[in-house]
């Protein structure tokens, strides 16, 4: 490696803003703050929620239900 061209690499603390969890890793930064981590992210915790978007099919089904109710 060439001397004096690489940034200083050292241990840093990563802090999750949402749940407050911390862990150590290596980085060129001294402190890292993240919004979500594996402790509080819905994908990793298994508490994932699916939000039904008001898409074309949903709109069609609502219109169809209104027409069938009138008959």
Tell me if residue 53 falls in helix, strand or coil. Answer: coil
Span 42-60, pLDDT tens digits: 777 777 666 555 678 888 8
Q: What is the pLDDT of residue 48?
A: 67
pLDDT bucket at 36, cuts 50 / 70 / 90: confident
Cα distances (angstroms) measured from residue 40 to each of 8, 17, 24, 54, 69: 31, 10, 17, 27, 44
pTM of the predicted protein model = 0.53
pLDDT bucket at 2, cuts 50 / 70 / 90: confident
């Amino acid at each position: 490696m060439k001397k004096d061209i690489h940034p200083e690499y050292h241990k840093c603390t990563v802090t999750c803003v949402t749940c407050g969890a911390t862990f150590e890793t290596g980085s060129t930064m001294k402190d890292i703050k993240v919004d979500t981590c594996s402790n509080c992210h819905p994908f990793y915790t298994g508490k994932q929620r699916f939000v039904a978007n008001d898409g074309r099919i949903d709109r069609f089904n609502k219109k169809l239900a209104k027409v069938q109710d009138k008959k």
